[in-house]
Amino acid sequence: MAMMEEKQAAALRQRFLEVRDRVRAAARASGRQEDAVALVAVSKTHPAEAVAELAALGHTLFGESYVQEALAKQEAVCSLMGGEAGRQVQWHFIGHLQSKKAKDVVGRFSLIHAVDSLKLAQNMQNRLAMLPVTQTGAPAGVQDVLIQVNIGREPQKSGVAIEDAASLAEDVAQMPLLRLQGFMCMPPFHCTGDMATPFFEHMRTIRDAVEHRLGMPLPHLSMGMSHDFEQAIAQGATLVRVGTDIFGTRDA
């Protein structure tokens, strides 16, 4: 497997281990098991070699935001690591997804974090229905998804409006080929550290209310990034999306 230059690789490994330890410590501090919170290493704009380096270290969960980059990187990581090892890597799509791109991502990511409209959900459902079926005649699989909520009510940011989150969740939950797993949010960028806590708390409250309304478990809250993931964990995050603190400043 082709790898990074050793000095770069050592620094990457050190940053990753420090973040992993912080995630585990935050989980313990909130009275939860260490494995209750999954670390999504956000590798967008970073090379496949960096992903392969962390995968060789035992970390297998990575997040991407740009469709074409993500699909190319999936192939590159499989090539670098070898087929079987490369297939152990799990990919989450965490970026804004245009409805017309639904066909490119369903079935290619273990979890899609940012469903934010009924049109997008319907396009995903329709595309999944076109995929091959098993010998039993059942669809080849379902797609796990989260609904992104615009928790800060920012006009420039993606995400369903807070007031519409429950109704969108109800619609998605009725689609047989989509499996609703919970919600994702991003507080306003300037609300770092403890300033983000009220937004995370609000997102958890919305999730709990929708669980009650639908009568089904919604186990995942994807919230918290490099500058606020510890606060997110304290408010119930199960998935934290960390890029900069692991990979360093990205190029784009």
Taking the model in full, what pTM does it have?
A: 0.93
Q: Which residue has the higher pLDDT, 91 or 135?
A: 91
Q: Which residue has the higher pLDDT, 194 or 134?
A: 194
Whether residue 2 lies inside any domain: the answer is no
Stretch 28-54: mean pLDDT, rounded? 96
Q: Nearest CA to 78 among 102, 104, 55, 109? A: 55
CA angle 165, 199, 249 (to 5 degrees): 105
Whether residue 175 lies inside any domain: the answer is yes
What's the pLDDT at 12?
A: 97
User: Taking all residues of the chain, what is their mean pLDDT, rounded to a whole number?
Assistant: 93
pLDDT higher than 50, residue 39 = yes
Whether residue 6 lies inside any domain: the answer is no
Quote the radius of gyration of the chain (alpha carbons, Å).
Answer: 18
User: Residue 89: which domain range?
Assistant: 14-129+140-247
Instruction: Provide the H-helix boundaries in 82-117.
Output: 83-87, 102-105
Q: In the structure, what pLDDT confidence band is assigned to residue 139 with cuts at 50, 70 and 90? A: low
Q: Residue 98: CB partners within 8 Å, gap ≥ 6?
A: 120
Stretch 14-21: mean pLDDT, rounded? 98
Segment 7-16 long-range contacts (CB within 8 Å, at least 24 positions apart): 9/53, 12/50, 12/53, 12/54, 12/246, 12/247, 12/248, 13/53, 13/54, 13/57, 15/245, 15/246, 15/247, 15/248, 16/41, 16/54, 16/57, 16/59, 16/246
Whether residue 135 lies inside any domain: the answer is no
What's the pLDDT at 250?
A: 61
At 34, list the tokens.
Answer: 């260490």
Question: Phi first, then psi: what are they for 248, rounded to 5°?
Answer: 90, 180
Question: Phi first, then psi: what are they for 102, rounded to 5°?
Answer: -55, -40
What's the pLDDT at 24?
A: 98
Stretch 127-139: mean pLDDT, rounded? 67
Whether residue 235 lies inside any domain: the answer is yes
Stretch 66-83: mean pLDDT, rounded? 92
Whether residue 31 lies inside any domain: the answer is yes
pLDDT higher than 50, residue 252 = no
* Residue 242 belongs to domain with CATH number: 3.20.20.10
Stretch 8-15: mean pLDDT, rounded? 95
Per-residue model confidence as pLDDT tens digits over 149-169: 999 999 999 999 999 999 999
Q: How many domains, in total, are found in the chain?
A: 1
Per-residue model confidence as pLDDT tens digits over 101-132: 999 999 899 999 999 999 999 999 999 998 87
What's the pLDDT at 87?
A: 75
pLDDT higher than 80, residue 140 = no
Residue with tokens 């615009």: 150
Per-residue model confidence as pLDDT tens digits over 192-238: 899 999 999 999 999 999 999 999 999 999 999 999 999 999 999 99
Whether residue 162 lies inside any domain: the answer is yes
Whether residue 9 lies inside any domain: the answer is no
Q: In the structure, what pLDDT confidence band is assigned to residue 136 with cuts at 50, 70 and 90? A: very low
